[in-house]
Amino acid sequence: MKARWVDGNQVELLENGEQFFPAIFESIRGARREVIIETFILFEDKVGWQLHAELVNAAQRGVEVDVMVDGFGSPDLGSRFIDELVAAGVRLRTFEPSRRFLGIRFGVLRRMHRKLVIVDGATAFVGGINFSADHLADFGPGAKQDYAAKVQGPIVDEIRRFAVNVITRSDGRRPAEQSFATQRQGPAAVLFVTRDNVEHHNDIERHYRAAIRTARKSILIANAYFFPGYLLLRELRRAARRGVEVRLVLQGEPDMPIVKVAASLLYDHLQRDGVRIHEYCKRPLHGKVAVIDDEWSTVGSSNLDPLSLSLNLEANLVVRDPAFAGQLRERLETLIEHDCRQVDRAAASGFGLWQGLRSAVVFHFLRSFPRWAALLPLHTPKLVPARRISADNSAENTHAG
């Protein structure tokens, strides 16, 4: 499906689980006809069980409910959790189930990393927040900082059509034809853009690069896993050299230490052209958002790293709306002011000879990575019905007992 700009939408920014989960659950409670969910992670914690309850209730009152989880991100759903959903009428599928060998999970490449919720063809949620309790502040120091968007208006029809096509390709069943109202709801022009390994290999990155290339005043990007391709880095450096204020908000307290190490390899190369780098140090940053020139913004699942840009299945909203962009910018400015430290170039540079050698290796890797990624194993992914996963889990549990 080719992405296109759609006018007449209302877009609301949701920050962290405290805003995201209540909005999702309220929307599902109000569903009368259909709920479609795609998520990388669904855990059996307090958030997962609350979603479970809402979906069971919806299915029992006759709502068509389709849920797809990723097999690597959601590997441990138990038989009770699955069976109760299926018994209520929820159609649960797993994208590429991930098996363990000696306690290690394999199959990290080419995952279904999207986070989408569509309710009654009228409301959609797109972002980076999974269904897990670590997106709530009461989880503790490991709670993640993240964002999503709630959108209403004609673009929801585009998002629903995409999700329905995924369901149809998985098992040949097409959800019942529905006639949903898609009247104009607000002032925002919205683009629903996806990345896959068939037709849309670099769509999300292309929209980032186009916006950066045309920026005239400011670029503010907050991204959890920052190790982008050579072309995107080049556009950021060029923007800074022509006088655009370019700021990056990256992880200072990462959930995986390698994330910070990888991003730091790029610091000096960016800073020498005037890019300012801020590390968010309050808790792990999980957001994937950007604001450019007070009008263009994006919220979604795509990190700016090789997995998201070259391998995983991703989905972002790109929004043209000064009000939404202003709200997102204000939230990010608050992070920078209260919970970030600016990285000093001298501290990041290290030894000159070593830094130069390291930068050369890194940029050679980044320039070549898209070609290497295309050579990695590519196959038609499996979407496995939940009943089979439940049976497998039961067999494993019996064997383990």
Name the pairing type of β-strands 188-195 and 314-320. Answer: antiparallel
Burial class (CB in 10 A: 0-12, 13-18, 19+), 102: exposed
Q: For helices 79-88 and 46-60, what crossing angle results, to 10°?
A: 20
Return the higher-pLDDT residue of 101 and 55. 55
Contact between 267 and 343 under an 8 Å Cβ cutoff? The reply is: yes
- Residues 296 and 82: their CA atoms lie apart, in Å, by 40
Domain covering 6-193+382-400 in this structure, CATH number: 3.30.870.10
List the catalytic residue out of 52, 135, 278, 286. Answer: 286
List the catalytic residue out of 113, 135, 144, 150. Answer: 113
Above 70 in pLDDT, residue 388?
no
Q: Confirm whether 282 is a catalytic residue.
A: no
* Domain locations in the chain as residue ranges: 6-193+382-400, 195-299+312-375
**CATH topology for the 195-299+312-375 domain:** Endonuclease; Chain A (3.30.870)
Average of per-residue pLDDT across 102-130: 87
The SS3 call for residue 252 is coil
List the catalytic residue out of 52, 150, 269, 288. Answer: 288
List the catalytic residue out of 45, 196, 293, 392. Answer: 293
Instruction: Identify the pLDDT of residue 365.
Output: 66
Assigned token pair, 118: 């569509």
DSSP 265: T
Place 121 in a pLDDT band, splitting at 50, 70 and 90.
very high
Instruction: Identify the pLDDT of residue 175.
Output: 66
Q: State the residue for tokens 């204020």.
A: 245
DSSP 310: I
Q: Confirm whether 120 is a catalytic residue.
A: yes
- Residues 192 and 201: their CA atoms lie apart, in Å, by 15
Instruction: Identify the pLDDT of residue 30.
Output: 97
Q: Confirm whether 260 is a catalytic residue.
A: no
List the catalytic residue out of 66, 70, 120, 321. Answer: 120
Q: Confirm whether 45 is a catalytic residue.
A: no
Return the higher-pLDDT residue of 5 and 259. 5
Q: Confirm whether 115 is a catalytic residue.
A: yes
Which range has the worst mean pLDDT, 28-37, 66-75, 226-235, 249-258?
Answer: 249-258
**If residue 7 lies in a helix (H) or strand (E), which one and from where to where?**
strand 6-15
pLDDT in tens, 89-101: 999 999 988 666 6
6-193+382-400 matches 195-299+312-375 in fold: yes
Burial class (CB in 10 A: 0-12, 13-18, 19+), 231: middle
Q: State the residue for tokens 């992880």.
A: 251
How many C-beta atoms lie closer than 10 Å to residue 47's C-beta? 25
Above 50 in pLDDT, residue 395?
no
- Residues 5 and 247: their CA atoms lie apart, in Å, by 27
pLDDT in tens, 301-352: 999 998 899 889 999 999 999 999 999 999 999 999 999 999 997 655 554 5
Burial class (CB in 10 A: 0-12, 13-18, 19+), 90: buried
Q: Confirm whether 66 is a catalytic residue.
A: no
> Which pTM was predicted?
0.90
- Residues 271 and 274: their CA atoms lie apart, in Å, by 5
Assigned token pair, 174: 């097409």
**If residue 8 lies in a helix (H) or strand (E), which one and from where to where?**
strand 6-15
List the catalytic residue out of 115, 144, 150, 278. Answer: 115
Instruction: Identify the pLDDT of residue 394.
Output: 46
Q: State the residue for tokens 């022509």.
A: 242
